[in-house]
Structure 1
């Protein structure tokens, strides 16, 4: 087996959403906008917002419990819990520690892998190695993001695309089944010229209230230069995908499903058009969920597994962009 190919099987998956969906028409009314305005700007018809009494860890625990049930496993049969969220519940401790506490779980390695919207892909890329080496046999990956609390509704193009949610998968390196499940290729690249294209300045030591002489609240809001993000991603993604396919020794025609990060309706449309991917081969949940940050891709993946579109043996291209500006991808034989 080539060095970059590793057995990796998704043993179970699930997702969790907070409360009832919030329609774009309801947001139009709340923000005193003409009916249909937010759907027109964002391409989202509904999304889910996490109420104040819930946390990302709450949603994450629900998703983990669902993935474990789907895999037929208990938490004490898991070797590590890894949070792959793009946002933090609090500065310390790690999201994974808070999720393990929410689950009332046994002692185990619990840590975060945070690469913004690409956190799930970054975890797959990094954890396939200890799985292959036998360091771990089964790992829970869980992404839970609450984007809604950091949105600036004066900037509809930035805010109206987002929603909250969580998703979890149980992965194992012990592929002892008849079907062969493996990662054929994966890689991540960050283009540092895009470091400030998407950001929330507050949340760390750089803009801590004790160290600044400016209002703190505006620094807690998400801001994005959407045009610069789109231009850089559009320039880099085609070559990135070509390299990933070459590494896997596959053509795009041999891919059964493309599971992208649900960045925006424009990004998804451009991906289909630029690469010539038929829309019926793309898992697109954007209109009903919005951009759920790092939870977007694993939510789309879990939904497509559960509704039967993705079947064992299918070859999947997982692809996305994130703040940084970063691009990540993996080719998985499910």
Structure 2
């Protein structure tokens, strides 16, 4: 891989002397679950459930109620997270939200979440976009805020991903599920984030895109009214991920190399690898490049689908809840996002 045609950014060492740690993590999963066969029957699709499961790794997913919004799901996860830590919302230094579309384009969904948490203090609340990778972007940003003096930051990720997608394109119709997860990050005397590394490569910009209303406006003269209405629920376009397979492999190798260079660790020192499950194959490819067996990871895509920015915090919550994550473990988190934009963090529990 040393002769790669992809040029990744050089690792820049951080000057961080004030540390942070995860104080609490929680998630909210909608009650309603639908399987592949239900989608096939409902939309009269010419696919077999077994084919869908084999190709993307999803058998079922949880779906929010029609009257729920992104901020509703985020608030339920955030409340659980704060309650677990016995932490009052007014003590927060900041609130950061990651979501797909959100309640509205403006105001930011973080403002809606702040209101639903009944915050009596006008703390800084804002969204960090970035699709699947936005949680790690927020985690990295929060660590830097803490390093400059913040005490406690709430990150709430996920929401409703299944609504604004095609119901006939098998690449997306069966892929996404709804969920939200939240983590509370606070100041620590000990270092927990041992390394971080991020990149973006526009060469695969069109591989996965979410269109905006402006895109529909630009195309309105060439579309019938029926086509325009259908497009409202067909906002996420996805190509064949295998077109970028070589890049994904190189990205995993490069992320790991830079994380190990900064942390001084080796792959044998990593106790658990958590990966955004864009689909089952990308999860398997990531572990294969790292030389890690499935027993050293966690997979939720089979029954949850791709929950976008909620994936990594959802995996963290599951790991803590089931005891698979224990104090003292070194956790490698890797994200593959749209853009293509991704990266990783090594976190010591």
Calculate the TM-score normalised by the size of structure 1: 0.91
Provide structure 1 residue ranges, at least 5 long, that are not aligned to the other structure: none
Equivalent pairs counted in the alignment come to 327
Alpha-carbon distance, 1:27 to partner? 2.4
Instruction: State the SS of the aligned residue for 1:48.
Output: strand
2-structure distance, mates of 1:300, 1:170: 15
Match among 276, 281, 296 for residue 261 of structure 1: 276
Alpha-carbon distance, 1:38 to partner? 3.1
Aligned residue runs from structure 1 range 93-172, under 5 A:
93-106=107-120, 107-134=122-149, 136-172=150-186
2-structure distance, mates of 1:333, 1:57: 30
Q: Are 2:70 and 1:56 equivalent residues in the alignment? A: yes
2-structure distance, mates of 1:121, 1:155: 28
Alpha-carbon distance, 1:208 to partner? 5.6
Alpha-carbon distance, 1:212 to partner? 4.9
**Residues 87 and 116 in structure 1, CA contact (< 8 A), matched pair in contact too:** no
Change (3 A) 1:27 1:132: same
Partner of 1:280: 295
Match among 199, 207, 214 for residue 209 of structure 2: 199
Calculate the TM-score normalised by the size of structure 2: 0.87
Aligned residue runs from structure 1 range 317-328, under 5 A:
317-328=332-343
Instruction: State the SS of the aligned residue for 2:23.
Output: strand
2-structure distance, mates of 1:230, 1:89: 34
**Residues 28 and 38 in structure 1, CA contact (< 8 A), matched pair in contact too:** no
Partner of 1:304: 319
Provide structure 2 residue ranges, at least 5 long, that are not aligned to the other structure: 1-12
Q: How large is the Cα RMSD of the aligned pairs?
A: 2.1
**Residues 82 and 96 in structure 1, CA contact (< 8 A), matched pair in contact too:** yes
Instruction: State the SS of the aligned residue for 1:196.
Output: helix
Instruction: State the SS of the aligned residue for 1:324.
Output: coil
**Residues 229 and 325 in structure 1, CA contact (< 8 A), matched pair in contact too:** no
Which deviations, in whole Å up to 9, do the C-alpha atoms of 1:18-42 show, x marking residues without a partner? 2221122322332444453432333
Partner of 2:304: 289
Partner of 2:37: 25
**Residues 252 and 289 in structure 2, CA contact (< 8 A), matched pair in contact too:** no
Which deviations, in whole Å up to 9, do the C-alpha atoms of 1:252-288 show, x marking residues without a partner? 1101111111211001111122221111111211111
Match among 66, 69, 84 for residue 80 of structure 2: 66
